[in-house]
Amino acid sequence: MEHFIDGKRHGGPGRTADVYNPATGQVAKQVLLASAEDVATAVEAAELALPGWRATGLSKRSAIMFKVENIIRERTPELAAIITAEHGKVLSDAAGEVARGLENVQFCAGLMHHMKGEFLEQAATGVDVHQTRQPVGVVACITPFNFPAMVPLWMITTAIAAGNTVILKPSERDPSAAVWIAEAFAEAGLPPGVLNVVHGDKEAVDELLTNPLVKAVSFVGSTPIAKYIYETSAQHGKRVQALGGAKNHMVVMPDADLDGAADAAISAAYGSAGERCMAVSVLVTVGDVADPLIERLKERIAKLTIGDGTDPASEMGPLITRAALDRVNGYVTGAEAEGATVVVDGTQQEFDGEGFFTGVSLLDHVRPGMKAYDEEIFGPVLSVVRVDTYEEAVRLINTNQFANGVAVFTRDGKTARQFEFEIEVGMVGVNVPIPVPIGAFSFGGWKNSLFGDTHMYGPEAFNFYTRRKLVTTRWPEPSESQINLGFPTH
């Protein structure tokens, strides 16, 4: 897989990495890994394209967004197949990812509204003040493997709509969707150099973080890397938003609909093999609901179909790599030694072939201090933590280092309102297991789930990708001119 620089595929000699089909475990292609020089070439192309794109009328930018949305929507099956081939998620899940990404394209098509400034007449006698939004410049977007289409569409669409030029660095594990999207933008009329794609590893990332022409960096990934991205970018004077890891809890109150809660937990914990930053990984059972809820979970787990993502019968596909498979299974095989109970051991499920498959696992009697609770597993493992009271559940969640998403399942409105008020997490669901906001709002957590102060996509993204410029205007008569060394007042 080649880079996409200045409107065309960009190849050449250099280091490469294997791209696997996770369902077969076989190498499907090679991806080029950009050198620092390759990245610098892309940055220079983006810098050269910046003046022209910034001067492009907002109506033309909006028209390109509408065209991109139509192209991607009409060809969603094609893009979904690319995602499934390299990530492994089932085709319906891949198509759903594309649909959620298109929400942001639709939002950005209204850029004439989002880019509006402010005007204040007669701030002082004969003095008017207005504020405009202007692009920050060349923007780097570094995206994760688990959503190879949705997260790029969260970032690049807003950055481009705001008048910036972009270097997109997708995961080298599933790189093809990013190039497909870049070519869709080109087909929609985006000028060369406005959107560039470079593949790579730490060498490419470090060049983006330190290159003085790059003015802002957006990132989604694990917490250790998010912290590194944030600190390195800030040291080099860049604006940065870096979304990190998660440990999303789902609280089930004694009055909850247990069948509905079980369905939601299964869907949120095991969808996309748990490789979602908003996946539910901890089920917090309050009072006596644990045993009946676990029985319902076991019944549903036994009926799940795991297989190749291209098979319409499959509900869950493989993990992304062999290393991910070994790491995830390690949490299950080591759980009993730490005092947990393995209710369902997915590591024992057998699969044909060499794909990176594992079954789903359910752990009970998990507590803080155990690896399965403390660390982000990023796989199909659901842990049950038993607590006696609502207050204990809130305290458990609020002391966790991660604060991306959380949910509460209850029939009581007072409990739901109290939970919303007290919980220290960025995205909250009430009887909604995965509370990812619609495109008109912004996505992001708190604590070690976000480094920076700006959330992803939606209104906050337009704040991140623009700078506000304040202009104060006065048109005095010549007779009013005078020297005054005092501090100006109104």
Q: Annotated catalytic sites, by residue?
A: 277
Closest alpha carbon to 247 in 396, 413, 60, 65: 396
| CA 67 – CA 69 distance, rounded (Å) | 5
Q: Are 376 and 247 in contact (CB under 8 A)?
A: yes
- Give me the half-sphere count of Cα atoms (radius 13 Å) on the Cβ side of residue 370: 24
Q: What is the 3-class SS of the chain, one letter each residue?
A: CCEEECCEEECCCCCEEEEEECCCCEEEEEEECCCHHHHHHHHHHHHHHHHHHHHCCHHHHHHHHHHHHHHHHHCHHHHHHHHHHHHCCCHHHHHHHHHHHHHHHHHHCCHHHHCCCEEEEEEECCEEEEEEEEECCEEEEECCCCCCCHHHHHHHHHHHHCCCEEEEECCCCCCHHHHHHHHHHHHCCCCCCCEEECCCCHHHHHHHHHCCCEEEEEEECCHHHHHHHHHHHHHCCCEEEEECCCCEEEEECCCCCHHHHHHHHHHHHHHHHHCCCCCEEEEEEECCCHHHHHHHHHHHHCCCCECCCCCCCCCECCCCCHHHHHHHHHHHHCCHHHCCEEEECHHHCCCCCCCCCCCCEEEECCCCCCHHHHCCCCCCEEEEEEECCHHHHHHHHHCCCEECEEEEECCCHHHHHHHHHHCCCCEEEECCCCCCCCCCCCECCEECCEECCCCECHHHHHHHCEEEEEEEEECCCHHHCCCCCCCCCC
| CA 385 – CA 352 distance, rounded (Å) | 34
Q: Are 466 and 444 in contact (CB under 8 A)?
A: no
